[in-house]
Chain A
Amino acid sequence: MAEVHEITKKETVFSFGKEEKKLLSDPINDNNPITVQVLGVCSALAVTTLVDKAIVMGLAVIFVTALSNLFTSMLRSYIPKQVRMIVQLVIIAFLVTIVELALKAFNYTIWKELSVFIGLIITNCIVMGRLEAYAMANSPWKSFLDGIGNGVGYSIILVIVAAIREVFGKGSFLGFKIIGPTAEYALNTTEISWLGWYTANNLIILSPAAMFIIAIIIWVHRASNRKLIDIS
C-alpha cells in the first residue's frame, strides 16, 4: 500500500488534472482578481489607455505573479514567519527589477512609455495577495499555475478596458486608426469615411473613465455569472 501511495505522489508533482485546471480557470472567471476581488485596480486605471501598453503590462504581471509564487512556494518552509512579508517583497522587487531591466534593453520605447508603472508592479496587491493566500501554503507547481492564472485574469481585464478606451478615446486599435476621420487625428475632419463623423472622446482617455468601464465590466460579469450573484 505504501509503495502505491508513493508512486501516485511522484506522479502528481507536475500533474495537470481537474484541480490544476481550476487553478488556471478560476482567476479568469469566478475569482477574477480585478472584477471579483477588486485588487490591482490602481494600475488597471493607469496603463489602460493603449492596447499595446496593456499587453506588455499584462505579460510583465504574469511573469512576476508566476515566478514570485513559484519562488515563495519553494522557499515556504525556510522563510521565517516573522519576516515573511519582507521576504516576499524582496522576491517581488527582484523579479520586477529583472522585468524592467530586460524591457529597457529589448524594447526601449515601450519601457519609456510604461516607465513608472513597471516599477509599481511591486505594489500591485494581486502579487502580494497570491503569495500570502496561496504560495505560502501550497506546492511550487500549483503555486506557479495559480500565479499564471491570476496574471492572465488580470491581463484579460486590462486588455478589455484598454481596447474600449483606445477605440473610443483615440479611434484606433493597436495604433491603427479604425474609427473617426481617416487622417492622423481629430484636427482633420474634412475626410468622410466609415464612421468618419466620430470625434475621439478625450474623457475616455482620463482615469475616471477607466473607473466607470471597470465598474460596468464588474456589473456585467456579476450579473452573467450565477456563482457571483449575491443572495444576501
Chain B
Amino acid sequence: MHSTNYILRFTIVMTVVVAFVLALMVSGLKDIHILNESVYNKKGILSSVSGQLGKDISTLSEIEVGDIFSKQIEQKVINVKGEELTEAQILEATGGTAKKAEDLDLAAEAKKPEAEKLLPLYVFTDAKDQKKYNIIYVRGKGLWDEIWGYITLSEDWNTISGQAFDHKGETPGLGAEIKDNKAWYGQYTGKKLYNQNGDFVSVSAVKGGIKVADHQVDAISGATITGNGVNEMLGRGVKYYEAYINKNKSNDTLNIQ
C-alpha cells in the first residue's frame, strides 16, 4: 500500500508529463493540421466543378489545389439581402476571424439568424471557354449529424452543372452515399432549380421513379432521412441566395443574349 502523499505526487508528476508532451505535439503539428483542413475544404469546393476541370479532385496535391484556387476561383461573401460584402465588412461581421469566403466558420454561420448569415459564393472560371460558374453553399441535417454541399450553377443561375455533398457521420453505404456514390449525386447535374415561370421548385430526391425530369432525382433506398435532409437543405439553402440570384440573373442572362 502506498501513502496518500505518494499517490498525489505520482499522479501530479504523471499528469504534468503527459500534458506537456501532448501540448508540445499539438502546437508542433498545428500548422499541418490547419493546412490539411483548408486543403480538404478547398477540395470539397473543387469537387463541385470536377466535371469542368476534368480531373479527379481527390488525387490533386495541395499545390495544385492552391493553384486552381488562386487562378480560377473568385471568392465572394454575400448576405441574404443579396449584397456583396467588402473585406472590411467581412472582418467586422466575423469579429476579425475571416477575410475571405474560404476563412468563414461555416458551422457557426449556419447557427446565426437568417439576417446575419454570411454566405460564401465562389465564381469559377472555366479555363477552356472562359464560362463562369457560380458555386453556392448549402448546409442541413442528415440522419446522424450535419450534411453540407456545394452546388455549381451555370451562368443562367438555374441549371445545376456540378455538385459535391459531404457529411459528418452518415452511415457508410447508406446515407454516406451522398458523398461516395457518383452515380447518385451525378443525377443532380443538368437539373434545374426554377421552373419555366421562374418560380423556385428546387431539386428533390424522390422514391418510386422520377416524374418531373427537371426537378427530381432518384432517392437512395435505405437512406430516407438523409435524402429528406438533402431535399430540405437544398430548398432552404438556395433561398438564402435568392436575393443575390435575382439581382444577377437578369444581368447575366442579358449578357448571354
Chain A interface residues (CB < 8 Å from chain B): 49-50, 78-83, 86-87, 90, 94, 97-98, 101-102, 104-106, 108-109, 112, 115-116, 169-170, 183-188, 202, 205-206
Contact = CB atoms under 8 A, between A and B. Distances in A.
Interface in B16-47: 18, 21-22, 25-26, 29, 32-33, 36-37, 39-40
Interface in B171-196: 171-174, 177, 181-184
Interface stretch (B2-10, B100-108, B244-252): B2-10
Nearest to A202: B222
Chain B: number of interface residues, binned into ranges: 20 to 34
Contacts, number: 82
B172 A94 contact: no
Interface in B99-135: none
B212 interface: no
Contacts of B40: 108-109, 112
Contacts of B218: 187
The 9 closest A-B pairs by CB, nearest first: A205-B173, A187-B183, A108-B36, A80-B2, A105-B32, A49-B172, A80-B7, A185-B183, A105-B29
Contacts of A94: 18, 21-22
B14 interface: yes
A169 B173 contact: yes
B243 to A, nearest CB: 34
25 contacts: A78-B10, A79-B10, A80-B10, A82-B2, A83-B11, A87-B11, A87-B14, A94-B21, A98-B22, A98-B25, A101-B22, A101-B25, A104-B33, A105-B29, A105-B32, A106-B32, A112-B40, A183-B183, A184-B182, A185-B177, A187-B218, A188-B183, A205-B172, A206-B171, A206-B173
Interface of B: 1-2, 6-7, 10-11, 14-15, 18, 21-22, 25-26, 29, 32-33, 36-37, 39-40, 58, 169, 171-174, 177, 181-184, 218, 221-222
Contacts of A186: 183
A185 B180 CA distance: 10
A108 B169 CA distance: 16
Nearest to B26: A101
A138 B22 CA distance: 27
Q: For B10, B14, B25, which residue has the most chain A Cβ atoms within 10 angstroms?
A: B14
Contacts of B2: 80-82
Contacts of B26: 101
Q: Tell me the dominant secondary structure on chain B's binding face.
A: helix
A187 B173 contact: no
Given A185-B182, A185-B184, A205 B171 contact: yes
Q: Which of B18, B40, B169, B172 has the most CB of A within 10 A?
A: B172
Given A104-B33, A112-B40, A90 B22 contact: no
B194 to A, nearest CB: 26
A82 B7 contact: yes
A97 B1 CA distance: 31
Contact of B36 (A49, A104, A169, A188): A104
Contacts of B221: 202
Contacts of A104: 29, 33, 36
Given A81-B2, A184-B181, A90 B25 contact: no
Contacts of B172: 49-50, 205
Contacts of A81: 1-2
Nearest to A165: B173
